[in-house]
């Protein structure tokens, strides 16, 4: 994990940005919650545990910055707020599908990719350069049907 942080530091430095202590604590929270799809406010609350004086605006600005650098990526489950996850969108977005329960809101992940055919067809028929895709499957989970 130390490596990741150093890595991010370099990445930022390469474009004249700094990995300040504030940014580092935000990054840590993201790293410690790789699998959680945190909202900005959730990140804020977690960062506040370690650094009580952060501002929400800083969290937003940092998440934006990290997204620009493709250090994290944001996603949208239709609940009115963006959610963030460590990792670039190529790694965790593409070929990564979300199954969302309409009742409890729980999110499951499916790593499979059966979409290559479809992407090919889109590229060909529409003369469109596909760079990513996003699949959400809605329904009711085991518990909520009980």
Partner DNA sequence: CTATGTGCAAATCCTTTGCAATCCA
Partner DNA sequence: TGGATTGCAAAGGATTTGCACATAG
Contacting residues toward its own copies, per CB under 8 A? 76, 78, 97, 99, 101-102, 108, 110, 112, 114-115, 117-119, 121-122, 126-142, 145
Give the DSSP letter string of 15-57: TT----HHHHHHHHHHHHTTTS-EEHHHHHHHHHHH-TT--HH
Output the smallest distance, CB 138 to DNA, in A.
18
User: What's the Cα-to-Cα distance from 40 to each of 6, 66, 122, 124, rounded to whole Å?
Assistant: 23, 13, 34, 38
Q: Which stretch binds DNA (CB under 7 A): 14-22, 98-106, 110-118, 125-133?
A: 14-22
**Which of 6, 7, 50, 57 is in the footprint of DNA by CB under 7 A?**
57
| Nearest distance, CB of residue 96 and DNA, angstroms | 20
């Amino acid at each position: 994990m130390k490596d990741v942080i150093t890595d991010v530091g370099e990445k930022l430095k390469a474009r004249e940005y700094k990995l300040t202590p504030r940014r580092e604590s935000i990054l840590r929270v993201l790293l410690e919650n790789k699998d959680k799809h945190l909202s900005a406010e959730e990140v804020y609350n977690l960062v506040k545990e370690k650094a009580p004086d952060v501002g929400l605006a800083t969290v937003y600005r940092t998440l934006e910055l990290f997204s620009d650098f493709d250090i994290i990526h944001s996603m949208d489950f239709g609940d009115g707020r963006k959610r963030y996850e460590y990792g670039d969108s190529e790694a965790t977005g593409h070929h990564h599908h979300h199954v969302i329960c309409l009742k409890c809101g729980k999110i499951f992940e499916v790593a499979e990719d059966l979409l290559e055919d479809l992407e090919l067809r889109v590229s060909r028929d529409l003369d469109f350069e596909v760079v990513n895709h996003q699949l959400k499957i809605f329904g009711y989970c085991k518990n909520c049907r009980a």
